[in-house]
Structure 1
Amino acid sequence: MQPIPTDRPVVWGDDEPHESEVAVARASRADFEQRWGPPHFRDVEGDGLGPTDYWGWRADCGFQFFVFYLQVTDDFHVMTSEEELSHALAHLDWWRDEVVWRANPGAPPLTDGWAVYRQDDTGHRHDVCVMTSRGHAECLARRMEARAHKQWYAVEQRGTPPMRQSRPRQGWAVIRQDEHGNRAEVAVFRTERRARELAAAYDSEPRHKQAYFVEPVSPPNP
């Protein structure tokens, strides 16, 4: 992840999420700084809450989010939209008991968008979340699968997609296939080389009865 530059006022103004924080996490400040470096910005007053340190990142998938640390409560607050919370936590490598509060944990998922779902080796499926951005959903699925044991993650569209004119997809798709012949598209790249690099990286890891291969993406027939 690349830190969001702090040399332009707009970064900590218009680009900052307008939603309230969507999660609170408790983790070692020393370990956090060892992993992610010193704060990118510091507010001494902290809107009356005392010294507040901020980090902001833009991930390779284009996702942008913020974390701030309150000294008075010794905890971290994640700022993003509710639908992107799992995505932010995955990039932070917070998977276990770090999160002590999250906004609206029982809220129903989106009905339109891209669902990240988990499937185990018995074929049982479970939705993790539904997101409006396909690229962000695919990024989350890849990061979660990298930590999975005898289960895999994929993305599928839900609801009615918006009507829009778009160019046919072109490039090379990385395809995953399980022992039952079920196929899922992992990612699409403009070049065959990039696609084969990702497929080789997945194949080099110990997986449970899955194979990865590359095939060209053909535009739909007119």
Structure 2
Amino acid sequence: MDLDFKRVGLSTLTDILNVVAPPISEHEVIQIWLSHDMSGYDGIENIVYRAMTRVLEQVEGGDLIVNRGEESRPKDDAGNAARELNTVEGYEAAVKLSQVNLDELIKIKDSALKAKKETLSSIQSPTSYSYVYLRVQPYLTSYSVPSTSALASTDGSAPAEQSKQQHLQFLLYLTDPDHNLIHSTITQSVPGAWLGIWDDYEWVEDLVAEVLRVGVEVIGQEYLVSRMGWGGFVTIVLS
């Protein structure tokens, strides 16, 4: 049944929210399993760690561990891996691939992580663990933009000419199965033409890394808001 907020006090509502998604505790370790198919970009883990650490500084609890999921490791020698983003075309394809890869990763890790939790609970450790799965999926989109000649026309007689430009974005898809939380966001787009000059100019990598960092902070903030109950109005359905 739907929860009637008029009939419950603030303390009761807080208790319910804490059961649904308990706030991050002082002795909690948030272990992030990172999934992506990019090769030759070894700094992704560091970007995620720094961005999530900055978000968690807002609360007193929560230590952070970032691991790379084995399901997406390159099959060849990592030391000789060519730089490849392994993009997909369009947002919908990025979402579907992210869901498939995270489902696979969760299945791989599920039994081992459950055994770890049982071991910790048996020794009455004050430390609790939350397992979060994050997919970083680059994808390409094409946008129609007015050409230079169309912009120069002022009499309105000439039809507006259009040209298409390709852009790179990242879908960030986060799930916390234990707390039934799922969040996703997309990053600022950057010109797809930059991919062709990535290895020639350091500023390309710097700007793309900054775009990705901001995106991770956004989705990390969404996760923190959900865990800490900062989201304002919440719809809760009790069965």
Answer yes or no: same fold by TM over 0.5. no
- Higher RCO (C-alpha under 8 Å, 6+ residues apart): 2
The structure where strand makes up a greater share of residues is 1
Which has more radius of gyration?
Answer: 2
Q: Which structure's residues are more often helix, by fraction?
A: 2
Instruction: Compute the TM-score of the two structures, normalised by the length of structure 1.
Output: 0.21
- TM-score, normalised to structure 2, is 0.20
